């Protein structure tokens, strides 16, 4: 009886110890879970704070975007207004330019001399083959139609004699003065050839209008016939020699502002090479500039 009681007590004691061990394990698990919950709560708090910060930044971004959108709309409105104003100004400016060109063309056709820096020669439509430039005694450059004197007679076309090329100086002399100035026939022929080019009253002009960088030119063959007309009784063989000597004289007296070019031509099915005395477009000849070779259509009457 006693042993049975002791055995039951021992069993009960073991069971109590087992329960206590199990309770301690559960307490430990509860403590671990509570710690994990605390960590989760802390992380949740941090995430909540970050979300609140993000929301604040989004609000600020939305506000900035609204400000930018408003500024963009204002800018677009200003741009549209400026574009309209610019188009209106350009339209008015183009209309004024057309009126100015028409007035300038009319004044040139009346004989006016216009300051070159106020005229766009290539935009003018005048009843003339070209517009020429001149230098007046005020030192300024003007444009006019060929051989048109200033109707207001405000100043003369002026170029100092010493500024002229030797060939220009000789070309201004009459036959007697030229004869007394030089005994060399090629020199006199060079002066007369230049005068024929620049003075329409001479009549016998062998020069031709050029193109592609050449203002004017004269063929050696045409020059030979011209020499025989100018110097009656000259044989063809001597005229050929005079052609070369005259060309050399022109080059020398023009200070080589002119040049000689060879060009292949065809006649009667045969090719031959002939020399040409040329005035280049960019030749720096005092009192002369490149003429505008284009022939624009006639201008319509201008109302006003």
Q: What is the pLDDT of residue 299?
A: 33
Burial pattern 55-89, b for ≥16 Cβ within 10 A else e, equals eeeeeeeeeeeeeeeeeeeeeeeeeeeeeeeeeee
Q: pLDDT digits over 91-127, tens only?
A: 888 888 888 878 777 777 777 788 888 877 777 777 7
Q: pLDDT digits over 28-57, tens only?
A: 889 888 888 888 888 888 888 888 888 888
Number of Cβ within 10 Å of residue 45's Cβ equals 10
Checking if the pLDDT of 292 tops 70, the result is: no
Sheet holding 114-115, edge to edge: 114-115, 141-144, 132-135
Q: What is the pLDDT of residue 129?
A: 67
* Cα-Cα-Cα-Cα dihedral sign, residues 278, 279, 280, 281: negative
Q: pLDDT digits over 146-205, tens only?
A: 755 554 444 444 444 556 889 988 988 888 888 888 889 999 999 999 999 988 888 889
């Amino acid at each position: 009886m006693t042993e049975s009681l002791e055995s039951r007590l021992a069993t009960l004691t073991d069971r109590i110890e087992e329960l206590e061990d199990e309770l301690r394990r559960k307490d430990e698990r509860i403590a671990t879970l509570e710690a994990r919950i605390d960590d989760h709560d802390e992380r949740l708090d941090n995430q909540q704070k970050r979300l609140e910060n993000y929301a604040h930044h989004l609000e600020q971004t939305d506000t900035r975007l609204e400000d930018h959108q408003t500024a963009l709309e204002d800018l677009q409105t200003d741009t549209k207004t400026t574009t309209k104003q610019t188009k209106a100004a350009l339209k008015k400016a183009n209309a004024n330019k057309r009126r100015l060109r028409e007035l300038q063309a009319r004044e040139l056709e009346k004989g006016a001399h216009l300051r070159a820096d106020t005229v766009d020669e290539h935009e003018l439509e005048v009843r003339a083959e070209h517009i020429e430039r001149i230098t007046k005694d005020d030192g300024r450059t003007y444009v006019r139609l060929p051989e048109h004197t200033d109707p207001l007679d405000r100043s003369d076309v002026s170029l100092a004699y010493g500024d002229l090329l030797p060939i220009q100086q000789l070309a201004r002399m009459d036959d007697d003065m030229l004869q007394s100035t030089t005994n060399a026939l090629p020199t006199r022929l060079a002066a007369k050839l230049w005068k024929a080019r620049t003075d329409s009253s001479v009549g016998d002009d062998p020069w031709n209008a050029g193109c592609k960088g050449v203002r004017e030119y004269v063929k050696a063959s045409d020059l030979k016939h011209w020499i025989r007309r100018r110097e009656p009784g000259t044989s063809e063989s001597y005229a050929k020699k005079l052609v070369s000597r005259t060309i050399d004289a022109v080059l020398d007296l023009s200070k080589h502002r002119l040049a000689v070019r060879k060009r292949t031509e065809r006649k009667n099915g045969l090719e031959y090479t002939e020399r040409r005395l040329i005035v280049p477009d960019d030749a720096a000849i005092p009192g002369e500039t490149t003429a505008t070779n284009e022939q624009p259509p006639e201008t319509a009457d201008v109302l006003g």
